[in-house]
Amino acid sequence: MAVLHNRVSQKELKERLYQETEPRTTISFYQYHHILNPQEFRDELYKGLDPLKVFGRIYVAEEGINAQVSVPQSDYEAFKNFLYSYNFLTGIRLNIAVDDDGKSFWVLKIKVREKIVADGIEDPGFSMERKGKYVNAQQMNQLLQDEDTIVVDMRNHYEYEVGHFVKAIEVASDTFREQLPMAVALLKDKKDKNIIMYCTGGIRCEKASAYMLHNGFNNVFHLEGGIINYAKEVKENKLDSRFVGKNFVFDNRLGERITEDVIAKCHQCGKPADTHTNCNNDSCHLLFIQCNECSKKYDACCTPQCQAVYNLPLEEQRKLREGKQNGIMVFNKSKQRLRPKLNESAFVLQDPEI
C-alpha cells in the first residue's frame, strides 16, 4: 500500500530543499466546488503530486480546494496537466508568486478540513453560488478613482500593516470569521455603494463578497486573484500600482514586495521596516516586525528576555519549555497586546484562518 504522507524529519527536508539546484516556482490556487468525498480526493492529489516533487500545503473540504505549493520548473507543465485533468479545475487560474526564491515550502501536506476558509458562517441559507463581480487590475484602479467606492481589506491586521490599497478600510481583527460580521456592521448604512473586497489570493474576498450579498448589499465586487494576481497584471500591463508596500504571504518568505514603499515600523525601535520574523526563542516564536539593526541587536528575538533564553545552552532551553504549550503568537499593534494563535506549528507555515 502506498504511503500517502511524509515520513522524513522536517530538518532533513529543509536541508534537501536548500541542496536543490533546479529552480522552483511558488504557486497558489483555489476553487469553490462541491467535493463529494474529500478524503478520496485528498489521496488522489497526493498520489499525483508527490512524484512531481511538489511541496506545500493543500486543504480539501466539501466546499472545494485551497493550495499554496512550490513546483520544480521542469515539472510545471506536468503539474498543470494533472490539475486540469479534473473538470472543476480545468483552466483554473494559477497565481505565480511575485517575489520568489523557490524556497517557500519543503514538504507536501494535504489535509481534509471542514472548510477551505474558516468563516464561522452557520446560516444554512448562505451559498457561494451568488457572489460579487470580479474586477481585474485595470478595473480596480478605475473604481478606486471614484470617491464613492469603498475598498475593504479582508486580511488580518498584520497583513494590512505592511501593505494595502490606497483608501482601503481595515477590518481590524485576527481572524476571517470575526471580520465577516464586522464588515457587515461597519458598512450597514452603505448597502448601495460600490464595495470592493480584496485579499491575498482571492479566496477570502470571494467568500466575503458572497456574504455581503447574502446580507443585503447590492453592488459588491472582489479582486480577481487577489493582490498576487493584481501585482502580476500591473507589471504586465505597465499600470500604476494602487497597492503600496508588501504583500504578506503564509509561507517561509512571510512577504513579497509589490512596491518599494515601506509603510510599517519596527515594533522594537519604531524605524521604518516591514520584515516579519518569528522570535528566535523556541519558547516564544512571536510573529512581529523587526528592522535589520534590531535583529542584530537582539539576535532576532522580540525582547531582551527572549534573547537571554535564546543564548542559554540548548539543554537549559529545553527544560524551560517542558510542560508549556507553544503556539503562534502574533503582535497586534492595533490592540497593543499579544494574541495566541493555537496552530499545530510554532512557525508561520499554516494560514491561521484555516
Catalytic residue positions, numbered: 199
Q: In this structure, are residues 204 and 115 in contact, taking their beta carbons and an 8 Å threshold?
A: no
How many whole angstroms from its chain centre is CA 344?
Answer: 16
Map grid coordinates 462541491 to a residue. Answer: 34
- Those residues with Cβ within 8 angstroms of residue 180's Cβ, 6 or more apart along the chain or in another chain: 119, 120, 121, 208, 211
d(C-alpha 14, C-alpha 121), whole Å: 37
292: its cell numbers? 535589520
d(C-alpha 39, C-alpha 28), whole Å: 21
- Those residues with Cβ within 8 angstroms of residue 329's Cβ, 6 or more apart along the chain or in another chain: 284, 285, 286, 287, 338, 339, 340, 341
Q: Count of CB atoms within 10 A of residue 79's CB?
A: 20
In our burial notation (b when 16+ CB lie closer than 10 A, e otherwise), range 51-78 reads ebbbbbbbbbbbbbbbbbbbbbeebbeb
Q: What is the dihedral of CA 225, 227, 230, 235, to 10 degrees?
A: -130
Q: In this structure, are residues 259 and 241 in contact, taking their beta carbons and an 8 Å threshold?
A: yes
Q: Count of CB atoms within 10 A of residue 265's CB?
A: 16
What are residue 288's phi and psi, to 5 degrees? -155, 170
Cα distances (Å, whole numbers) of residue 303 to 287, 300, 329? 12, 9, 14
In our burial notation (b when 16+ CB lie closer than 10 A, e otherwise), range 19-31 reads eeeeebbbbbbbb
Helix 76-84, helix 38-49: angle, nearest 10: 160
Decide: helix, strand or coil at residue 173. Answer: coil
